[in-house]
């Protein structure tokens, strides 16, 4: 319902679940990551953009995850569909035709105020979640004695500061319960163990993008599908939602260029991460963050000029501005890790790079001249 509210006018789509690509291969070794990054940097821009869309080799469905007895860690970058996946599992669980008594608990770990450090299992299940009208002790005893009938989802977990959550994850409580965790890649080391199966949520395949855009835009989808930049951007479901919302507008000004779509996406992301709901407040927030945004734009320009997607240093410390980046941690030794940063999508890097160029007009002539050379022709997309 919250997503439908982004669509103006009378044609609000029915936003049902769209298939996501799940990769069960586990962690990629550091040498392979470096090799892939090196290969990607040498690709032509169309081929580089195509690498963002994941291939759907062997489809794993929410129903499959619901049926398995294994504990699962669902890993993925922001907006990639982790929450949608777990909520689809909840929906399927409620629709089952089963006479067996079992229990499903879902916790949004981003609502941190609900989870106190020393809360009990009873507090977690019955205070945070739902308390039975009668027979609370009987229900709790049944849960403890038949923990193999219990599934618990911790969505968006970042740490194990609550002792009861820690005990459940480590199987000190309800040892036979099925635990499902969703987290971002930089948090997974704290939860991933031999007892959990790792699955990476990689977003929409090309077919899923087309299915989603057909449901949200109808014939208007052709405007998006004809643009490689927007098509590949839509592999992230949250971005697909934003692109669809931009193109669904019945009232002017409807976005006519990719730049306008990106401006909407950037403003929406800043609005979401800053909790500024009013346009006036958002404009003031963007003005106040001008220095930090331009520092991000500068490193984006330098990376684009150098034909790389890797940022070795963060441009600032502002978490809202840095939400456009994702960390990539490579284990280089037993106790040593190397962290680089990349934009959530290559064209987002180009957008920020172009913004920096606009703010430095004395550099524009040089960039135009560089675009004419074979070595720097990739900069024409920035223009």
pLDDT tens digits, residue range 353-383?
Answer: 999 999 999 999 999 999 899 888 888 878 8
Rounded to the nearest 10 degrees, how much is the dihedral formed by the CA atoms of 28, 303, 335, 192? Answer: -40
Domains and CATH numbers, the chain: 1-6+204-288 (no CATH), 55-203 (3.40.50.300), 290-383 (no CATH)
Residue with tokens 């740490």: 159
**In whole angstroms, what is the distance from residue 17 CA to residue 201 CA?**
14
Residues in the chain: 383
- pLDDT at residue 19 above 90? yes
Strands (E), the chain: 21-23, 71-75, 103-108, 150-155, 178-183, 196-203, 325-333, 336-343
**In whole angstroms, what is the distance from residue 232 CA to residue 359 CA?**
28
Confidence band, pLDDT 50/70/90 cuts, at residue 310: confident
- pLDDT at residue 319 above 80? yes
**In whole angstroms, what is the distance from residue 152 CA to residue 168 CA?**
9
The answer for residues whose C-beta is within 8 angstroms of residue 342's C-beta and 6 or more apart is 309, 310, 311, 325, 326, 328, 349
List the structure tokens of 96.
């089952």
Q: Is 159 left (phi over 0), alpha (psi -120 to 50) or beta?
A: beta
- Parallel, antiparallel, or unpaired for β 196-203 and 21-23? antiparallel
Reported as half-sphere exposure (CB side, CA atoms, 13 A), residue 210 has a value of: 7
Q: What is the residue-averaged pLDDT of the chain?
A: 84
Q: Please state which of the ranges 92-96, 103-107, 249-253, 293-297 shows the lowest mean pLDDT.
A: 249-253
Residue-level pLDDT at 73: 93
Confidence band, pLDDT 50/70/90 cuts, at residue 193: low
The mean pLDDT of 55-81, rounded to a whole number, is 87
- pLDDT at residue 192 above 90? no
- pLDDT at residue 179 above 90? yes
Residue-level pLDDT at 37: 63
**In whole angstroms, what is the distance from residue 265 CA to residue 300 CA?**
17
Confidence band, pLDDT 50/70/90 cuts, at residue 332: low
Rounded to the nearest 10 degrees, how much is the dihedral formed by the CA atoms of 258, 264, 269, 275? Answer: 180
**In whole angstroms, what is the distance from residue 114 CA to residue 155 CA?**
14
**In whole angstroms, what is the distance from residue 80 CA to residue 83 CA?**
9
Residue-level pLDDT at 42: 72
Which comes out higher in pLDDT, residue 43 or 175? 175
Residue with tokens 């299992």: 121
Please write the tens of the pLDDT for every residue from 134-146. Answer: 888 999 999 999 9
Angle between helical axes of 346-358 and 290-305 (0-180°, round to 10): 110
Span between the terminal Cα atoms of the chain, in Å: 38
In this structure, the number of other CB atoms found within 10 A of the CB of residue 292 comes to 16
* High-pLDDT (> 90) share of the chain, %: 34
Residue with tokens 């770990």: 109
Residue-level pLDDT at 274: 82
The mean pLDDT of 249-268, rounded to a whole number, is 75
- pLDDT at residue 35 above 70? no
Residue-level pLDDT at 235: 93
- pLDDT at residue 215 above 70? yes
Confidence band, pLDDT 50/70/90 cuts, at residue 264: confident
The mean pLDDT of 217-223, rounded to a whole number, is 87
**In whole angstroms, what is the distance from residue 342 CA to residue 329 CA?**
11
Query: In angstroms, what CA-CA distances link 268 with 187, 239, 279?
Result: 25, 10, 10
Confidence band, pLDDT 50/70/90 cuts, at residue 131: confident
* High-pLDDT (> 70) share of the chain, %: 88
Q: Is the dihedral of CA 126, 193, 73, 270 positive or negative?
A: positive
**In whole angstroms, what is the distance from residue 31 CA to residue 38 CA?**
11
Residue-level pLDDT at 48: 84
The mean pLDDT of 311-320, rounded to a whole number, is 84
């Amino acid at each position: 319902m919250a997503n439908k509210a982004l669509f103006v006018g009378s044609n609000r789509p029915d936003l049902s679940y769209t298939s996501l690509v799940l990769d069960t291969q586990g962690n990629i070794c550091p040498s392979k990551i470096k090799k892939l990054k090196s290969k990607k940097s040498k690709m032509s821009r169309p081929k580089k953009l195509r690498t963002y869309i994941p291939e759907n080799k062997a489809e794993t469905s929410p129903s499959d995850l619901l049926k398995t007895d294994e504990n699962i860690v669902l890993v993925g970058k922001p907006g990639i569909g982790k929450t949608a996946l777990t909520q689809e599992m909840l929906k399927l669980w409620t629709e089952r035709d089963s006479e067996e008594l079992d229990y499903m608990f879902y916790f949004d770990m981003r609502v941190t105020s609900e989870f106190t450090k020393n809360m009990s299992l009873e507090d977690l299940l019955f205070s945070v979640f739902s308390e039975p009208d009668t027979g609370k002790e009987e229900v709790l005893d049944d849960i403890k004695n038949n923990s193999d009938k219990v599934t618990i989802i911790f969505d968006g977990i970042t740490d194990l500061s609550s002792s009861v959550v820690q005990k459940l994850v480590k199987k000190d409580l309800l040892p036979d319960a099925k635990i499902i965790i969703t987290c971002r890649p930089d948090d997974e080391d704290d939860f991933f163990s031999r007892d959990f199966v790792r699955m990476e949520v990689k977003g929409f395949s090309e077919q899923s993008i087309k299915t989603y855009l057909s449901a949200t835009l109808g014939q208007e989808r052709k405007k998006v599908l004809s643009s490689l930049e927007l098509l590949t951007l839509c592999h992230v479901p949250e971005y697909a939602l934003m692109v669809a919302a931009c193109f669904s507008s019945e009232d002017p000004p409807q976005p006519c260029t990719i730049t306008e779509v990106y401006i909407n996406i950037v403003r929406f992301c800043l609005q979401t991460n800053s909790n500024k709901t009013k346009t006036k407040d958002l404009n003031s927030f963007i003005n106040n963050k001008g220095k930090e945004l331009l520092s991000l734009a500068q490193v984006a320009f330098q990376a684009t000029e150098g034909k790389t997607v890797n940022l070795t240093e963060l441009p600032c410390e502002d978490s809202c501005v840095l939400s456009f980046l994702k960390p990539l941690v490579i284990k280089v030794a037993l106790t040593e890790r190397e962290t680089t940063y990349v934009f959530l999508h290559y064209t987002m890097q180009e957008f920020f790079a172009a913004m920096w160029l606009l703010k430095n007009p004395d550099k524009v002539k040089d960039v135009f001249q560089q675009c004419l050379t074979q070595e720097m022709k990739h900069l024409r997309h920035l223009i």
